Amino acid sequence: MSDKVIITCALNGVLTDPKQHAVPVTPAEMAAEARRAFEAGAAMMHIHLRNQGEGKGHLPSWDPALSAEVQAAIRAACPGVIINHTSGVVGPNYQGALDCIAATKPEVAACNAGSLNYLKVKSDGSWAWPPHLFDNPVEKVKAYLDVMIASRSLPEFECFDTGIVRCVEMFRRAGLYGGPLQYNFVMGVESGMPADPDLLPILLKLKAPDSNWQVTAIGRASIWPLHRRCAELGGHLRTGLEDTFYKSDGEKVTSNGQLIAEIAATARAAGRTIASPAEARAILKIA
C-alpha cells in the first residue's frame, strides 16, 4: 500500500441547486472554490458545467467553450492541479459530453461503467423523484472510451454496484480499453451500493489487481467511517459539495475547502500522506 493518497474535490455536481446550497456555478466561482480545496490538499478537481444564464445555474451545460473557460480559471487558481471532467448524461443524446472531452482533453474524465435504476423512496412511501434509468449500455461506454483514448484522458470508471465493478475488467478483456485502470466506487446512492465500510474488502477482491481505486461516499455524517476505512485500506479519497454538505460532526459546510480539510485529516490519521498533483500523476500513470 502506498502511503500517498490522492484527494479529489467534487466541486459542484449536477443535482445540487445553487439557490439552496453554496455550490459554484460561474468560472470565477469554480476557481475560487477550487483554490480553497487545493490549499486544503486536493490534487484533483472533478467538475460539472452549469448553465450560465440568469437563474439557470441549477441546469447542466455541455458547452465546450465554457468547459475550456472553467478549466483555465481553475488551473490559473491552482497551479499544477489535475482536472477530472464529468461525462454523465441520462438518455441517448450524450454528444455534448463527448464534444467537451474531445475539445478540452482533460487529464482525467469520468466514465460511468454501467446502468443503474436511480430510485429513492420517502418515508411516506412516495418517490423522492421520478424513477429513471441512468443508462450506460456498452455502446455508450465505448463511445466515451473512444473519445477519452483519442484525447489521452484517463477514464475514471464510476461503479455504482458490484456487478459494474466486475464489468470494468471485461471492457479491458474485450479490447475497449487497454490503459491504466482507475476505479471509483460510488457508495451511498439509495439504489446502488450502500456507504458501508464492510463492503470495501469485497470490492477490492472484484477489481483488477493492477489498478488504482477511490471511494465516492454520498450522504451525511455516516459517510465518514467509510472514508476512514478507505484510507486505511490504501484507497484514494474524494469529497466535495457534489457528494455531501456535512462534516463528520453534522455541521453543514459553506465551502468545499472545509470538506477537503476534514478528509485530509482523516487520511493523515490513517497514516497516509497527501499526494501533490505531480505525485498523483505518477500514481495514476498520466503524462
First to last CA, the chain: 22
CA–CA distance from 214 to each of 39, 58, 66, 73, 102 (Å)? 21, 27, 28, 26, 25
Enumerate domains of the chain plus CATH numbers: 4-284 (3.20.20.70)
pTM: 0.96
Please report which confidence band the pLDDT of residue 1 belongs to, taking 50, 70 and 90 as the band edges: low
pLDDT 10s digits, 247-266: 999 999 999 999 999 999 99
CA separation, residue 109 to residues 68, 126, 212, 259 (Å): 14, 35, 15, 22
- Structure confidence by residue, pLDDT tens digits, 36-74: 999 999 999 999 999 999 999 999 999 999 999 999 999
What share of the chain in percent tops pLDDT 70?
A: 100
The β-bridge relationship of strands 116-118 and 154-159 is unpaired
| Torsion sign over Cα 238, 239, 243, 247 | positive
Residues in the chain: 287
Provide the pLDDT for residue 221: 82
pLDDT of amino acid 16: 83
What is the full DSSP assignment across 162-201? HHHHHHHHHHHHTTS--S-EEEEEEE--TTSB-S-GGGHH
pLDDT for residue 2: 72
Mean pLDDT for 220-236 is: 96
